[in-house]
């Protein structure tokens, strides 16, 4: 079957999965792509992670829609790879499998009190306000007056901004209805945003920092001492100029100069501050923090505890210190780096070990949870390049069940209701129609059962 297309399964319908599919479908040789996702909906973090008040970022889905319109593309939503179909079964049905499953869990802080009621991961909160089915039942006690957000990456900025926003501004976004109602009743007035190192080492990007200063209901408070650069930071910026850090410092100086504007909420930025203990009988009542000084080290400027402690009277803590990928049954996993061990996208049996033929990886599960959405494009292109090179030199295993209908038959026999792209389009139209009532781009359905009910009704429509 010389003309038979190369059959590739891509697992994970987020940005990296779509960019891998896009590059595969752009080739001169015939390639057929089946894109799997455990949810009935596509787009991964673009739907479930990107903040609702960032619609421009979300509009990248138009690019993914074009990929899905390719005749050799099929969507297999509502299918959990590793459970509904094993990694080994995928290998039998496809020449190659590209794992693009992202990083679904969080890094832990490893401090006492982390599990007290009122202490949450940013992932839970982000998933909740974005209507992600995994987090739809979470509850956050927004009756508290003060909250702390630990970490100064862009996710921490999203969480802080959503907590400090005017709910009327959020109402016209695709934020979940439950979250919108809870935020309307929120009593949170003070949000401490804690960076363990200095402002020059913060992970947030400048547009996200500037947005804090544009919130109509919130003052941004910066401590003058945090903006006095220490010797290690000055030396580091001299040897390695950092435009983003310079811009951030300028923005922060602007916040300091502006002072308080008498707005009802406050975002208190605290740099060189580490969380030490979350305390309270039964639930969070305070966060004990420790001051740090900065020191040069071979790994860059590092925080070193001074021993000085302070207490922040907060009733809520959001830990936003980075994501962590989870392993998939039957696929190698490097527990230390929390990635699938790989060489430019070729999965390896162990870190630095032998190549696993026909197995590839793209996105956060390949390189770790870093970069913006666009970063996943060159990343996926590199992976697909390796895959095509291997196909060219005959290094891909021949599937034993290459018939495109075989995988559908297997899943159907197991009682899996596979959601096709057409099904998703019906759900999409339903959500967009429901959102129009409140002037929002969509009203997300957060219950997968309800999503499937809408889809089944649409299938029966004439
Ligand atoms: P991130 O950018 O890696 O930031 C993690 C933050 O947590 C850093 O400030 C880090 O400080 C801090 N941290 C780590 N361990 C800590 C500890 N034990 N105690 C205190 N602080 C600790 O991660 P993220 O915010 O989850 O974002 C993930 C990726 O998504 C990033 O590439 C981000 O830019 C991207 N993203 C982009 C957007 C956007 O474009 N608008 C929105 C959301 C996310 P150190 O630097 O000291 O380690």
pLDDT digits (tens, 9 = 90+) for 336-389: 999 999 999 999 999 999 999 999 999 999 999 999 999 999 999 999 999 999
**Cα end-to-end distance, the chain, whole Å:** 38
Best residue among 49, 153, 370 to mutate for probing ligand 1, ranked by most atoms within 8 Å of CB: 153
Residue 167 has pLDDT above 80, yes or no: yes
Residue 30 has pLDDT above 70, yes or no: yes
- Give the chain's mean pLDDT: 97
**Nearest CA owner, ligand 1 atom 1:** 153
Mean pLDDT of 48-65: 97
All structural domains of the chain? 6-104+325-419 (3.40.50.720), 112-322 (3.50.50.60)
Banded pLDDT at 437 (limits 50, 70, 90): confident
**Nearest CA owner, ligand 1 atom 25:** 153
Q: For position 329, what pLDDT does the model report?
A: 94
Tens-digit pLDDT profile for residues 142-157: 999 999 999 999 999 9
Residue 305 CA to residue 290 CA, distance in Å, equals: 7
CA 371 to ligand 1: nearest atom? 32
Q: For position 1, what pLDDT does the model report?
A: 45
Residue 3 has pLDDT above 80, yes or no: no
Tokens (6 digits) for 276: 């030490």
| Whole-number CA gyration radius for the chain | 24
**Nearest CA owner, ligand 1 atom 3:** 322
374 SS3 class: helix
Is there an atom of ligand 1 within 6 Å of 431 CB?
no
196 CA → ligand 1 middle, Å? 11
From the list 125, 187, 117, the residue with the least C-alpha distance to 155 is 125
pTM for the model: 0.97
Is there an atom of ligand 1 within 6 Å of 294 CB?
no
Residue 233 CA to residue 261 CA, distance in Å, equals: 31
Is there an atom of ligand 1 within 6 Å of 156 CB?
yes
Banded pLDDT at 438 (limits 50, 70, 90): confident
* High-pLDDT (> 90) share of the chain, %: 98
Residue 462 has pLDDT above 90, yes or no: no
Is there an atom of ligand 1 within 6 Å of 174 CB?
no
Helix (H) or strand (E) holding 286: strand 286-297
Is there an atom of ligand 1 within 6 Å of 77 CB?
no
Best residue among 119, 155, 287 to mutate for probing ligand 1, ranked by most atoms within 8 Å of CB: 155
């Amino acid at each position: 079957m010389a003309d038979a297309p190369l059959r590739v399964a891509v697992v994970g319908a987020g940005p990296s999965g779509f960019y891998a599919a896009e590059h595969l479908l752009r080739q001169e040789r015939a390639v057929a792509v089946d894109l799997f996702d455990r949810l009935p909906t596509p787009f991964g973090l673009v739907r479930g992670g990107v903040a609702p008040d960032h619609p421009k970022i979300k509009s990248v889905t138009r690019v993914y829609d074009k990929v899905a319109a390719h005749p050799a593309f099929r969507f297999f939503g509502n299918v959990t790879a590793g459970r509904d179909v094993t990694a080994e079964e995928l290998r039998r049905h496809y020449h190659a499998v590209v794992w693009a499953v992202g990083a679904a869990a969080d890094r832990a802080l490893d401090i006492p009190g982390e599990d007290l009621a009122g202490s949450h991961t940013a992932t839970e909160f982000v998933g909740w306000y974005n209507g992600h089915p995994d987090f739809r039942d979470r509850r956050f006690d927004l009756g508290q007056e003060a909250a702390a957000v630990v970490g100064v990456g862009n996710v921490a900025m999203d969480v802080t901004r959503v907590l400090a926003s005017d709910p009327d501004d959020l109402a016209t976004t695709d934020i979940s209805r439950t979250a919108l109602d809870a935020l309307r009743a929120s009593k949170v007035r003070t949000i401490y945003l804690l960076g363990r190192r200095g402002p020059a080492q913060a992970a947030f990007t400048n547009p996200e920092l500037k947005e804090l200063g544009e919130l109509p209901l919130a003052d941004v408070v910066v401590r003058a001492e945090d903006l006095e650069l220490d010797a290690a930071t000055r030396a580091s910026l001299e040897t390695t100029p950092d435009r983003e850090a310079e811009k951030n410092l300028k923005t922060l100086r602007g916040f300091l100069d502006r002072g308080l504007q008498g707005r009802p909420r406050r975002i208190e930025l605290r740099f060189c501050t580490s969380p030490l203990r979350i305390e309270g009988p039964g639930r969070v009542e305070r966060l004990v923090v420790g001051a740090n000084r900065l020191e040069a080290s071979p790994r860059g400027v590092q925080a070193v505890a001074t021993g000085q402690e302070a207490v922040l009277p907060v009733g809520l803590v959001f830990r936003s210190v980075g994501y962590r990928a989870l392993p998939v049954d039957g696929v190698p996993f490097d527990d230390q780096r929390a990635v699938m061990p790989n060489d430019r996208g070729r999965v390896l049996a162990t870190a630095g070990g032998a190549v696993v033929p026909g197995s590839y990886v793209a996105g956060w599960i390949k390189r770790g949870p870093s970069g913006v959405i666009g970063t996943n494009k060159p990343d996926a292109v590199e992976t697909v390049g390796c895959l095509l090179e291997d196909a060219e030199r005959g290094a891909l295993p021949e599937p034993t069940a290459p018939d495109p209908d075989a995988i559908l038959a297997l899943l159907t026999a197991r009682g899996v209701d596979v959601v096709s792209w057409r099904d998703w389009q019906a759900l999409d139209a339903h959500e967009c129609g429901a959102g129009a009532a409140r002037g929002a781009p969509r009203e997300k359905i957060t219950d997968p059962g309800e999503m499937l009910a809408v889809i089944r009704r649409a299938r029966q429509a004439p």
